[in-house]
C-alpha cells in the first residue's frame, strides 16, 4: 500500500496504469507511507524482489522523497529476501545520492533487518555515496522497529541543535 497517512492520498496511480499487469506483484512486496506527525517515511519490503521490481519500487520511494523531503526513514527489510549484490550497489550508487540532493539536509535511515543480512548490505560501499556537500546519509541497523524510532527521534533532535 502506498499512502500518505494524514492525507490518505494514494501515490500508486502516479506510476501504474490500470493495464499494468505487474502492479499487484509490486503492491504485495512494497509498503510505503509518510506519517506527517512523525515526519518519517516508512518503507517495508516483503518477499522476493527482482531487479526490475526493486527499481520500480524505488521510483515510488523517490516520488515520496521529492514530495515530502523526509529526513527520517524506517526501512523494514526483515521479510525481504536477499537481493543481488548489483542491486544493493545500485541503491547506494544512484538512489541514496539522489535522496541527499532532493532532501538537501542530513538524512537518517533506520534499517530493520535480520543480523545475518547486515554485513552483506554495507560491505561493498566506500561511503562517498552517502555524502552530498555538507549533508550526510546516516544509516543504522536495528532488529526492532521501536528501537529504530527511538534512534530517529534522538538523531533528529541532535541534527536540529547542530543546524
Return the CATH number at 135: 3.30.750.24
Phi-psi label, residue 133: left if phi above 0, alpha if psi -120 to 50, beta otherwise: left
157 vs 135 pLDDT, higher one: 135
Cell numbers that stand for 114 in this block? 535480520
Look at strands 40-47 and 72-80 and give their pairing: parallel
Query: Is pLDDT above 90 for 91?
Result: yes
Cell numbers that stand for 161 in this block? 541543535
Per the structure, the complete domain to which residue 126 belongs is given by 2-162
pLDDT in tens, 46-70: 999 999 999 999 999 999 999 999 9
Q: How big is the chain by its Cα radius of gyration, in Å?
A: 15
Average the pLDDT over each of 59-63, 104-108, 158-162 and give the range with the smallest value: 158-162
Crossing angle of helices 51-68 and 96-103, in 10° steps, is 10
Whole-angstrom distance, CA of residue 3 vs CA of residue 19: 21
- Number of domains composing the chain: 1
pLDDT in tens, 13-27: 344 333 344 444 467
Q: Are 77 and 30 in contact (CB under 8 A)?
A: no
DSSP 8-state secondary structure symbol assigned to residue 28: H
Whole-angstrom distance, CA of residue 14 vs CA of residue 30: 15
Q: What is the pTM of this model?
A: 0.76
Residue reference for cell 550508487? 93
Amino acid at each position: 500500500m502506498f499512502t500518505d497517512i494524514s492525507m490518505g492520498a494514494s501515490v500508486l496511480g502516479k506510476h501504474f496504469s490500470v493495464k499494468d499487469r505487474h502492479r499487484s506483484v509490486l503492491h504485495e512486496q512494497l509498503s510505503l507511507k509518510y506519517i506527517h506527525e512523525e515526519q518519517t517515511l516508512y518503507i517495508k519490503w516483503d518477499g522476493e524482489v527482482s531487479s526490475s521490481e526493486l527499481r520500480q519500487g524505488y521510483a515510488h520511494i523517490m516520488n515520496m522523497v521529492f514530495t515530502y523531503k523526509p529526513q527520517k526513514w524506517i526501512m523494514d527489510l526483515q521479510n525481504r529476501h536477499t537481493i543481488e549484490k548489483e542491486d544493493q550497489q545500485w541503491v547506494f550508487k544512484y538512489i541514496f545520492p539522489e535522496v541527499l540532493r532532493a532532501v538537501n539536509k542530513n538524512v537518517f535511515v533506520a534499517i530493520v533487518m535480520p543480523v545475518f543480512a547486515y554485513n552483506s548490505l554495507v560491505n561493498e560501499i566506500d561511503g562517498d555515496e552517502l555524502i552530498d556537500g555538507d549533508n550526510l546519509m546516516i544509516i543504522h541497523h536495528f532488529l526492532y522497529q521501536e528501537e529504530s524510532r527511538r534512534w530517529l527521534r534522538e538523531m533528529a533532535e541532535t541534527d536540529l541543535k547542530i543546524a
